[in-house]
Structure 1
Amino acid sequence: MRKNFIKVLLKKVHQSDKSFTSSFKKPKIHKNSISHFPFPQMESASELVEFPLLLTPIDSHYRACTIPYRFPSDNPRKATPTEISWINLFLNSIPSFKKRAESDTSVPNAAEKAEKFAQRYSDILEDFKKDPESHGGPPDCIVLCRLREIILRELGFQDIFKKVKDEENAKAISLFENVVRVNDAIEDEVKRVENLVKGIFAGNIFDLGSAQLAEVFSKDGMSFLASCQNLVTRPWVIDDLEAFKVKWIKNSWKKVIIFVDNSGADIILGILPFARELLRRGSQVVLAANDLPSINDVTYSELVEIISKLKDEEGNLVGVSTSNLLIANSGNDLPVIDLARVSQELAYLASDADLVVLEGMVSSSLGIILLSEIFIALMLGLLLAVN
């Protein structure tokens, strides 16, 4: 019974990985889909395509899971130390996911189903440790994340983090104007952009997919201002901030694509003040958010609602017009992203972008450093003190 269940899951994983095409076209924008919102938005597409700014040929230049879990010389039937470390990381996160699932009032018999989730997922992870190819592996970050989501959804759990996302969004919305005005008060443009970037890093600590951060959050909550003060001092291990500041002063990018990450302080107090500054400088900004819920990542529909609440009656974000702000459905349904699989709408919008920012998706997308010189890897500076 258990083996059959696992086979079905792995089949779904592999089908999901193969179900995309390599071309994209101009999307259809249905008037009804935008009539209730005074800013443009794009609908999700069923087919996933390659992100158009990846270096080609993609097969030889891009790999979604950049951190290699194994090498060709490794025994295919023996888990490598790296594989074991990552599998243990996912095993350690199971209790926090189980706890969230147990409290999901939208699911009948949630406690019983949460226990099934924990058992099924841990069984698969333990099998991977014994034999990496036991279920069509070897495992990588995307496979491990997708298996977790599939099991949750099979049991009826669609969004186990919804309650905490809603609570943190409400808190962050109440702080947004103050955070923006603090940034606006910094007259020196270089210092202001540095403060905005640090705000992105501070906001990204609200990531409940991490067992360590989930524990910190459950005990003490998370303060955006405290996180700003607790940032690791520069220089960071990978620190290109000076180069970015030079480009910021010299450039006024025409179109910026920002892949967003978590709900709460991350999107509202980190990314949106940064996006607002870009809008003020004349850039068109496209915020790309997940199609479906995954951990506490903000979804496309949630982001539409958040921005609607933040705008004033004239459609401004604290005095800055949102006429050049677009919200796109990335087509993604995981807390990590594979740039070979994005929505057609996002691919179309990104085809003429001259700056791409991926924030908080380090686990799976370090390969994007191969994009081109237009990409500034802001996410690589995310080094926070959480103790």
Structure 2
Amino acid sequence: MAVLPLLADPQSYVACEWDLLTDPAGREYWLDVFRNHIDTLVRSAIASGATQEQCAIVRKNLTAYLDEIEKNPSVQGNPLDIISLDKVRTKALHDAGIHDAFRAAKERETKAALLQLPDRLKFLDSLTGTERRVELIRGIFAGNFFDMGAVSIAEQYVDDNGNTFSQALSQVRSRPWLIDHADDLDPQHHNKILMFVDNAGGDIVLGMLPLARELARNGAVVTLAANSDPALNDVTHEELVTLLDKSTGLDAVIDRLRTEQKLRTVPTGTGAPLINLAEIGSELTQSAQGTDLLILEGMGRALESNFSAKFTCETWSFAVIKDKGVARRFGGSMFDCICRLRPPFS
């Protein structure tokens, strides 16, 4: 695995600062979160074609893995963090022969979002200045509600009862947000942008894709980085390429930007809802060279991991808090919004 060249101090970089070996209360909290998520995991897997027998194996093995960590926290080695627990969940799925437990929900939500894309872009294009910039960010927050890893809302999406994009927009918190640097973001003066995207559905289609379109239309080359392997309802690189192909003809600007190679994609070489930027794929490392703006989206990539990471370029972070433990850790409340700007570290 390779290291992201944008890390200012790779030697001191810690992907996930919440050390569950030294925090017994935090460890207990996250073990319970993963246990409480098993029902959602199983129901989503069945909806995506897994058998009852496969799901019984997942339930048995994942429960056993989590119980063992509770008894012997060092069994997974050091560090023990949320990324470690993600890996345990993935192993339980793979041991049962389940590769993509949330495929059905991702396909349904992405299909619905693509139908709404032309109208959303038309509305954004009718706005100007600060109003347009803020509405682009609100769209990211609205899309980020589609999160099958957040127990608080995941069950709604298993049953296809989750918020529509318009409903989610109406529920985005009013400004000022918990961290609100929206007025300081400059969408016009960057040349090369690397954007780590999060979920399928409205998150990528109606949230991050319009932002990528805006930045690329202003002259930058924008590369969207997506997981190589499935993790929860995160969009994979393969799915990202497919949905961009399906968007052909829906928006002349996106079509032109793709033809001009100003809107690109790259696989991360990873497969988790959080990301360790010291363990990425070589293709991503090459794509990151020369980047002058890094964008991290989602609670996993921007808060639970990489919150204190130092980068050599300007960094924007966007997230909606959908976990009570994360809310407490960052001094906020459920569904608080994060729009954060960090200058290059020097």
Report the TM range for the smaller structure's normalisation. 0.7 to 0.9
Contact 1:96–1:214 (8 Å) recurs in 2:
yes
Aligned equivalents of 2:166 and 2:11: distance in 1? 42
- Any stretches of 5+ residues in structure 1 without a counterpart? 1-47, 72-78
Summarize the alignment of residues 310-325 of structure 1 with structure 2, pairs less than 5 Å apart: 310-312=247-249, 316-317=252-253, 320-322=256-258, 323=260, 324-325=262-263
1:266-285 CA distances to partner (integer Å, 9 max, x unpaired)? Answer: 00000001111111101100
Contact 2:18–2:81 (8 Å) recurs in 1:
no
Matched to 1:300, the amino acid is H
Matched to 2:56, the amino acid is E
- Any stretches of 5+ residues in structure 2 without a counterpart? 323-333, 338-346
Q: Measure how far apart 1:112 and its partner are.
A: 1.3
Matched to 1:338, the amino acid is N
Aligned with 2:20: secondary structure? coil
1:319 and 1:101, CA in 2 relative to 1: closer, same or farther beyond 3 A?
closer
Q: Measure how far apart 1:320 and its partner are.
A: 4.8
Aligned equivalents of 1:121 and 1:224: distance in 2? 33
* 2:328 match: none
Percent identical pairs in the alignment equals 30
Matched to 1:296, the amino acid is N
- Does 2:74 match 1:133? yes
Return 366-375 or 175-184, whichever deviates more: 366-375
- Does 2:96 match 1:155? yes
* 2:16 match: 65
Between 1 and 2, higher relative CO (CA 8 Å, sep ≥ 6) is seen in 1
Aligned with 2:316: secondary structure? coil
- Does 2:290 match 1:349? no
Superposition RMSD on alpha carbons, in Å?
2.2
Contact 2:140–2:207 (8 Å) recurs in 1:
yes
Aligned equivalents of 1:378 and 1:89: distance in 2? 23
Q: Measure how far apart 1:380 and its partner are.
A: 7.0
1:121-176 CA distances to partner (integer Å, 9 max, x unpaired)? Answer: 11221222223124435631111001111121121101121111111111000000
1:27-69 CA distances to partner (integer Å, 9 max, x unpaired)? Answer: xxxxxxxxxxxxxxxxxxxxx200001012x122x11112233
* 2:2 match: 49
* 1:210 match: 150
Contact 2:144–2:319 (8 Å) recurs in 1:
no
Aligned equivalents of 2:212 and 2:320: distance in 1? 18
1:265-319 CA distances to partner (integer Å, 9 max, x unpaired)? Answer: 0000000011111111011000001111111111111111111111229x94467
1:198-247 CA distances to partner (integer Å, 9 max, x unpaired)? Answer: 10111011111112121232452221111111011222222222222xx3
Q: Measure how far apart 1:81 and its partner are.
A: 0.4
The two structures have a TM-score, normalised by structure 2, of 0.86
* 2:34 match: 90
Matched to 1:226, the amino acid is Q
Contact 2:200–2:235 (8 Å) recurs in 1:
yes
Choose from 248, 262, 274 the match for 2:199. 262
Summarize the alignment of residues 11-30 of structure 1 with structure 2, pairs less than 5 Å apart: none
- Does 2:138 match 1:198? yes
Aligned with 2:38: secondary structure? helix
The two structures have a TM-score, normalised by structure 1, of 0.78
Matched to 2:293, the amino acid is L
Matched to 1:200, the amino acid is I
1:240 and 1:93, CA in 2 relative to 1: closer, same or farther beyond 3 A?
same
Aligned with 1:370: secondary structure? coil
1:138 and 1:331, CA in 2 relative to 1: closer, same or farther beyond 3 A?
closer
* 1:81 match: 25
Aligned equivalents of 1:117 and 1:344: distance in 2? 32
1:68-96 CA distances to partner (integer Å, 9 max, x unpaired)? Answer: 3354xxxxxxx610111111111110111
Aligned equivalents of 1:377 and 1:182: distance in 2? 24
1:138 and 1:376, CA in 2 relative to 1: closer, same or farther beyond 3 A?
closer
Q: Measure how far apart 1:363 and its partner are.
A: 5.3
Contact 2:15–2:309 (8 Å) recurs in 1:
no
Aligned equivalents of 2:308 and 2:205: distance in 1? 24
1:368 and 1:312, CA in 2 relative to 1: closer, same or farther beyond 3 A?
farther
- Does 2:310 match 1:370? yes
Aligned with 1:379: secondary structure? strand
Contact 2:105–2:158 (8 Å) recurs in 1:
no
1:243 and 1:68, CA in 2 relative to 1: closer, same or farther beyond 3 A?
farther
